[in-house]
Chains A and B, each alone.
Chain A
């Protein structure tokens, strides 16, 4: 049973704690905005008709992944180490409320970071279409697709190791997940079945179009939901609260 009031209070508390954290600001705002500037002022993306929208979609993918996976995994792992999670067990919150509030806090964090990059993108000449209204939904979908794996990592591995692994995965995904660099058709077809590229495709559809969904976008959405379900099922099976 979920109390919306408790969930709201807990989400607000989670978001507040996250937003005050300087490393989070670096990971979620400064790095994505820098990437946006680099992407739109260099020729890495060749032959694209609208590089700013592509750059914006890439950066939203990066900040969503950073909030939904890296930040969430690290924060949860350290809360586990400090027995904050056990402390939450002594409050009136249920486990489901604790987890939902964490995910919701990550979503708000990604949304918060997204508004910074949105302003940067507008300054760089991005012209929004009606599809932009779908950006929050795309962010939510992106957070859901990886947050289960953040919990799985945080709930099974030592906090210091989580710090290293979550950051390594973040870099790995940026470089090799099809987010920053594009690969040949064969590799791309494989990467489409994983959250980073699927999320980038969904983001591109939100940022660059008027929100029309073709078959490839629907399959990307299904990929994100599928990984989300797998991650959360695994996490609920293996997560250790202390």
Chain B
């Protein structure tokens, strides 16, 4: 990050990851993550096992990195804890905390715990959160449905009024309407100056979040919507026999296209330029020349971030 002339130091991001790695003993995890997060909302997407929870739990200070560095407002994640200033509100994906307590009792207790926290002034009250997240107050936490539990966890993450909010798969197990509702409530409740990280493996959620998008794949950043131009604008897909000569096809087509075989025999050609009839004819001719049958030819215009990420994440069969 270049410092402005005359500035005494580099800007301090709420969250900064430098070459961050956490490799599990059995393999997997995250590696070489270089990301800064400013005061805005960022969606973290990726398939199951891509490293979303590992990244978020490491940022929350729940896991110790095996390499690199993570800082919150320029400090180690553990530092703020000993000072008592609550900097990160977290809703974890796993777990059902205090199953024998009621949501109301849990929130009252957390509210008391954070009463003298420096961020308290802007934090919501228990009654407000109960109302906003439509929480049942008398049922034990062990009897809450999946959706109610997610909403309670979100309420618990917001109750401290912390400047950083981390929500790991808050929409897991919710139906589409429930997901939209939850994001609507979050949009209203989370203060604009907060740094929010939301993970999801449901790409349609991105329509509701409307923010910077980061895609993780195999523990590394595969896509960051805040970096660089869009890589592709149009996409031609078709089905044929497996293992076509992609090099030959590439040479036959105009320059600047990307070709991949996604799943066995399913091909995708992406291009910055418009995919017109001549383009399609060239591709089909190539297949005809090598005697490959072609089915399900489709051309679509990629609708921005979602399509790009989708393209990237579905891309499992690529060599």
Which A residues fall within an 8 A CB radius of B?
1, 3, 5-6, 9-10, 13, 17, 20-21, 79, 82-84, 86-94
* 8 Å CB contact of A92 from B97, B99, B114, B157: B114
Cβ–Cβ contact A90 & B84, under 8 A:
no
B248, chain A: closest CB distance, angstroms: 52
* CA–CA, A1 and B86, complex, Å: 15
A132, chain B: closest CB distance, angstroms: 34
* CA–CA, A53 and B95, complex, Å: 46
Q: Which of A1, A92, A94 has the most CB of B within 10 A?
A: A92
Is residue B128 within 8 Å, beta carbon to beta carbon, of the partner chain?
no
* 8 Å CB contact of B92 from A3, A13, A86: A86
Cβ–Cβ contact A9 & B109, under 8 A:
yes
Chain B residues within an 8 Å CB radius of A9: 109, 112-113
Which B residues fall within an 8 A CB radius of A?
60-62, 81-82, 84-86, 88-90, 92, 94-101, 109-110, 112-114, 116-117, 156-157, 160
Cβ–Cβ contact B100 & A20, under 8 A:
yes
* CA–CA, A84 and B97, complex, Å: 4
* CA–CA, A86 and B153, complex, Å: 13
Provided the pairs A10-B113, A84-B97, A84-B98 are in contact, do residues A94 and B82 lie with their beta carbons within 8 angstroms? yes
Cβ–Cβ contact B113 & A93, under 8 A:
yes
Cβ–Cβ contact A92 & B94, under 8 A:
no
* CA–CA, A83 and B168, complex, Å: 14
Cβ–Cβ contact A87 & B82, under 8 A:
no
Cβ–Cβ contact B97 & A5, under 8 A:
no
* CA–CA, A129 and B221, complex, Å: 71
Chain B residues within an 8 Å CB radius of A3: 84
Cβ–Cβ contact B160 & A92, under 8 A:
yes
Chain A residues within an 8 Å CB radius of B82: 1, 94
Chain A residues within an 8 Å CB radius of B112: 9
* 8 Å CB contact of B97 from A10, A20, A83, A93: A83
Q: Which residue of B lies closest to A88 (CB)?
A: B97
Cβ–Cβ contact A90 & B62, under 8 A:
yes
Cβ–Cβ contact B60 & A13, under 8 A:
no
* CA–CA, A17 and B141, complex, Å: 13
A72, chain B: closest CB distance, angstroms: 16
* 8 Å CB contact of A13 from B109, B116, B117: B109
Cβ–Cβ contact A83 & B109, under 8 A:
no
* CA–CA, A142 and B109, complex, Å: 29
* CA–CA, A1 and B99, complex, Å: 29
Chain B residues within an 8 Å CB radius of A20: 100
A22, chain B: closest CB distance, angstroms: 10
B150, chain A: closest CB distance, angstroms: 14
Chain A residues within an 8 Å CB radius of B110: 91
Give 4 closest A-B pairs by Cβ, nearest first: A83-B95, A87-B97, A90-B90, A92-B86
Provided the pairs A6-B113, A9-B112 are in contact, do residues A92 and B95 lie with their beta carbons within 8 angstroms? no
Chain A residues within an 8 Å CB radius of B114: 92
A184, chain B: closest CB distance, angstroms: 45
A77, chain B: closest CB distance, angstroms: 13
Chain A residues within an 8 Å CB radius of B86: 91-92
B92, chain A: closest CB distance, angstroms: 6
Q: Which residue of B lies closest to A5 (CB)?
A: B116
Q: Which residue of B lies closest to A78 (CB)?
A: B99
* CA–CA, A79 and B89, complex, Å: 20
Cβ–Cβ contact A82 & B109, under 8 A:
no
B158, chain A: closest CB distance, angstroms: 12
